[in-house]
Amino acid sequence: MIQIENLHKHYGAVHALDGLSMNVEPGSIYGFLGPNGSGKTTTLRILTGLAHSTSGRATVAGVDLKTDGRSLSSRVGYLPEEPTFYPWMTPREFLDYLGLLHGLSAAERSAQTRELLELVHLAEVGKRRIGGFSRGMRQRLGLAAALVHNPEVLLLDEPVSALDPVGRKEILDLIEGLRNQCTVLMSSHILADVERVCNVVGIIAKGRMIVQSPREALVERYARPVFEAEVADDVSAIRWADGLRAQPWVAAVSVDGEVIRVTVKDIARARKELLASAVAQDILLRRYEETRPSLEDVFLQLVNKEAAQ
């Protein structure tokens, strides 16, 4: 449904995209990941027709962006990271106006507006002016706007970054429900959200694709074993982490308050020596477990490797 071949985008001497190639299959929810400045937003802007590539080829829903970009709007829905609206309009007026632009009849616009406002939990504020909305409410309305014309492809740039935990769960459930109804390309820096809803993942860095793969296959292929422990205080966590980093069987150590995560090279040795090292340093443990490697572990491993080259 989306095909990109050797795509380049230059801003003077800056190469935002440097030979990007990727494929998104119909009906999939594709997690598009990369560090800041890697080219994610530039890619999305090109796929929506808001920017043009310097060279290379891209097609969306069979539309060649170089030769037939005008027919793209009827097939693609787009939610930017910070959607903007006419502040004097109400959500009902705004969605009705978008439906009119897309050629929907009055009856279709009325039904679609009602259903979408229910879907994104804005029905109760459908007659309020958008200018008074919070960022989270605007994000919800932006998603509704992207779905007005039932697009074949939905492009989402950080779709839940402005939402609280309850709102994020509701929108992620909605996105997951679109599987096999339309094709979703979702850019996000919240890796746990991508791991939850996306069945395919592509990771880019420096404007190039590092890897794209089904999510589970990616984790199985690249993730190293991880141990996680919660200690009595953050001082103990830092002290233990400093000692572990010197061990040859440890690949990486991260500390978040009182929680320490240890990625290991040799799982057999880790099972034998990790807990013993805590006992030797009089570290009081509240929790200790061998965890399933996460998409975040894979992401950090691949991006750090690319950055070191």
Distance CA 61, CA 24 (A): 10
Is residue 168 very low, low, confident or very high in pLDDT (cuts 50, 70, 90)? Answer: confident
Q: Are strands 200-205 and 29-33 parallel, antiparallel or unpaired?
A: parallel
If asked whether residues 141 and 74 sit together in one domain, one would say yes
The pLDDT assigned to 298 comes to: 84
pLDDT tens digit string along 130-147?
A: 999 988 899 999 999 999
Q: Which domain holds residue 37?
A: 2-214
Average pLDDT over residues 250-276: 91
Give the number of C-alpha atoms closer than 13 A to the C-alpha of residue 251, restricted to the C-beta side.
Answer: 18
If asked whether residues 180 and 128 sit together in one domain, one would say yes
**CA atoms 254, 255, 261, 265: torsion sign:** positive
The pLDDT assigned to 109 comes to: 96
Average pLDDT over residues 11-28: 94
- In the chain, the number of structural domains is 2
The pLDDT assigned to 155 comes to: 96
Q: Taking the model in full, what pTM does it have?
A: 0.82
Distance CA 211, CA 198 (A): 15
The pLDDT assigned to 178 comes to: 87
Q: 46: domain CATH number? A: 3.40.50.300
More confident residue, 286 or 135: 286
Average pLDDT over residues 245-268: 91
Query: Does the structure show a pLDDT above 90 at 308?
Result: no
What percent of the chain is predicted at pLDDT more than 90?
66
pLDDT tens digit string along 62-101?
A: 898 887 767 888 899 999 988 999 999 999 999 999 999 9
If asked whether residues 141 and 287 sit together in one domain, one would say no
Query: Does the structure show a pLDDT above 90 at 270?
Result: yes
If asked whether residues 73 and 20 sit together in one domain, one would say yes
Distance CA 209, CA 38 (A): 10
If asked whether residues 48 and 81 sit together in one domain, one would say yes
Is residue 234 very low, low, confident or very high in pLDDT (cuts 50, 70, 90)? Answer: confident
Instruction: Write out the two tokens for 146.
Output: 């992207």
If asked whether residues 180 and 229 sit together in one domain, one would say no
Please indicate, yes or no, if residue 134 is contained in any of the structural domains.
Answer: yes
Burial zone of 180 (CB within 10 Å; 0-12 exposed, 13-18 middle, 19+ buried): exposed
Please indicate, yes or no, if residue 124 is contained in any of the structural domains.
Answer: yes
If asked whether residues 197 and 228 sit together in one domain, one would say no
Average pLDDT over residues 257-267: 91
The pLDDT assigned to 294 comes to: 81
Q: 252: domain CATH number? A: 3.30.70
If asked whether residues 173 and 229 sit together in one domain, one would say no
If asked whether residues 239 and 209 sit together in one domain, one would say no
Distance CA 93, CA 122 (A): 13
The pLDDT assigned to 66 comes to: 82
The pLDDT assigned to 163 comes to: 81
Burial code of 205-214, b = ≥16 C-beta within 10 A, e = fewer? bbbbbbebbe
Query: Does the structure show a pLDDT above 90 at 167?
Result: no
Is residue 183 very low, low, confident or very high in pLDDT (cuts 50, 70, 90)? Answer: very high
- Mean pLDDT for the chain? 91
Is residue 295 very low, low, confident or very high in pLDDT (cuts 50, 70, 90)? Answer: confident
Spatial CA neighbour of 227 closest among 299, 295, 296, 291 = 291
